Amino acid sequence: EKGGYDHFMLKEINEQPEALKAAITGRIKNGEPVISEINNIEEFIKNNLKKIFIVACGTSYHAGLTFKYFMNRYSKIDVDIEVASEFRYMNPHVDENTLVVAISQSGETIDTLEGIRIAKEKGAKVITISNVYGSTIPRESHGAIYMNTGPEIGVAATKTYTAQIAILYALGAKIIELTEGLNEEIRGILKGIEKMPEIYKEVLKLNEKIKELAREYVKYQHMMYIGRGFGYPTALEGALKLKEISYIHAAGYQAGELKHGPIALLDEQFPVFAIIPKDSLYEKMKSNLMESRARNANIIAITTKGNEEIKQLANEYIMVPETHEALYPLVMAPVIQLFSYNVAVLRKLDPDKPRNLAKSVTVE
């Protein structure tokens, strides 16, 4: 049942080429978004939509945050995001002109469910991205987009995270098409997603190198993940994956926030894991790496293939294929997942069953 892999988590990480393909089949065609699940709210999107509010927990929240960066850059619609456990108690500003985008792999997370109930009472439309057919949150939504990745058994979300991002981008593009009109750049991003299954095959081959890095870094008690722009949600997800399955304390920060406090933590015992693709924020990230190095922190960097300069900036590096800035969250996800997986295994932990965690969080 584990298909020859030692753990479900490793199997599911390696399934990402097929899982992502299944998620976008019929939803992205030659760079065009086709999301029939929102047919019934198309008129609402065209005529009423003023604000999108994203609601989710954990890894699904990180997919949502990636979506927020996408919508901020490519549309004029106001986008807000909150973790569901805060959203439901905060008097969220949603109304009949708001589209709530709920993201829940299991479709049963109680905080997300209560969040959409509140949003509906306030008159908002709700669309949910989920992996479980007929689960409660999609059933209570105005529209549901199922990820089609097949069941995810490992407690840590992996293939569903990348499927969520791909679907959210397609949904975002559809919303932009209905409101402001698509442009070539957005079509190019969607075409890039269509190529992702092939790119993943290449990224997954990095596992041997990632395992080597894990061997060197398993001894640390802490790890600081940093990123900017689209790299920031990836940093948060990297830190979450590491803490939940390897029990190493990890924090994810916007790299620009380092000097507002967290940089005080850095020294030779506190390494940095930098998300530093060759994108528009590369030079800014570079300064943050130099600041971290000046504190003697060891640095692992994930960057773009061909970026030779990284050898001077970081102690260790992993290179991923070049892609559009908005697609690095997808390209880099398997790397952070494999890193955490390997660290957990080296620590003799069962990555499929992290202590204190459940796959479906149906209690508050």
Smallest gap from Cβ 69 to ligand F6R, in A, equals: 18
Among 27-35, 52-60, 139-147, 338-346, the segment contacting ligand F6R (CB under 6 A): 52-60
Q: Which is nearer to ligand F6R, 59 or 288 (CB)?
A: 59
Encode burial over 235-268: b for 16+ CB neighbours within 10 A, e otherwise. Answer: bbbbbbbbbbbbbbebbbbbbeebeeebbeebee
Q: Does the footprint of ligand F6R cover residue 58 (CB under 6 A)?
A: yes
Q: Which is nearer to ligand F6R, 104 or 304 (CB)?
A: 104
Q: Does the footprint of ligand F6R cover residue 57 (CB under 6 A)?
A: yes
Q: Which is nearer to ligand F6R, 116 or 285 (CB)?
A: 116
Q: How many CB atoms lie within 10 A of CB 67?
A: 27
Strands (E) located in the chain: 28-29, 32-33, 51-56, 78-83, 98-104, 125-130, 143-146, 222-227, 249-254, 272-275, 299-304, 316-320
Q: Does the footprint of ligand F6R cover residue 340 (CB under 6 A)?
A: no
First to last CA, the chain: 32
Please indicate whether residue 205 is annotated as part of the active site. Answer: no
Site string for ligand F6R, 111-130 (x = CB under 6 A): -x------------------
C-beta of residue 17 within 8 angstroms of C-beta of residue 199: no
Q: Give helix 328-346 / helix 16-24 axis angle, nearest 10°.
A: 140
Smallest gap from Cβ 108 to ligand F6R, in A, equals: 7
Of 29, 16, 28, 62, the closest CA to residue 169 belongs to 28
Q: Does the footprint of ligand F6R cover residue 105 (CB under 6 A)?
A: yes
- DSSP character for 249? E
Secondary structure of residue 220 in the 3-state scheme: coil
Figure out which of the listed residues 81, 156, 223, 226 binds ligand F6R, where binding follows CB under 6 A.
Answer: 156
Smallest gap from Cβ 60 to ligand F6R, in A, equals: 4
Q: How many CB atoms lie within 10 A of CB 209?
A: 15
Smallest gap from Cβ 225 to ligand F6R, in A, equals: 15
Residue tagged active-site, from 2, 211, 243, 359 = 359
Alpha-carbon distance of 343 to 246, in angstroms, equals: 6
Site string for ligand F6R, 270-309 (x = CB under 6 A): ----------------------------------------
Figure out which of the listed residues 66, 106, 162, 323 binds ligand F6R, where binding follows CB under 6 A.
Answer: 106
Smallest gap from Cβ 92 to ligand F6R, in A, equals: 17
Among 105-113, 165-173, 175-183, 259-267, the segment contacting ligand F6R (CB under 6 A): 105-113
C-beta of residue 321 within 8 angstroms of C-beta of residue 287: no
Of 103, 204, 109, the closest CA to residue 160 belongs to 103
Among 15-23, 57-65, 165-173, 267-275, the segment contacting ligand F6R (CB under 6 A): 57-65
Alpha-carbon distance of 236 to 338, in angstroms, equals: 15
Place of tokens 């997800």: 237
Among 29-37, 55-63, 86-94, 285-293, the segment contacting ligand F6R (CB under 6 A): 55-63
Give CA separation, 126 vs 123, 139, 185, 225, in Å.
9, 11, 27, 32
Q: Which is nearer to ligand F6R, 324 or 359 (CB)?
A: 359
Residues that bind ligand F6R in the complex, under the rule CB under 6 A:
57-60, 104-106, 109, 112, 156-157, 240, 244, 361
Residues carrying an active site annotation: 359
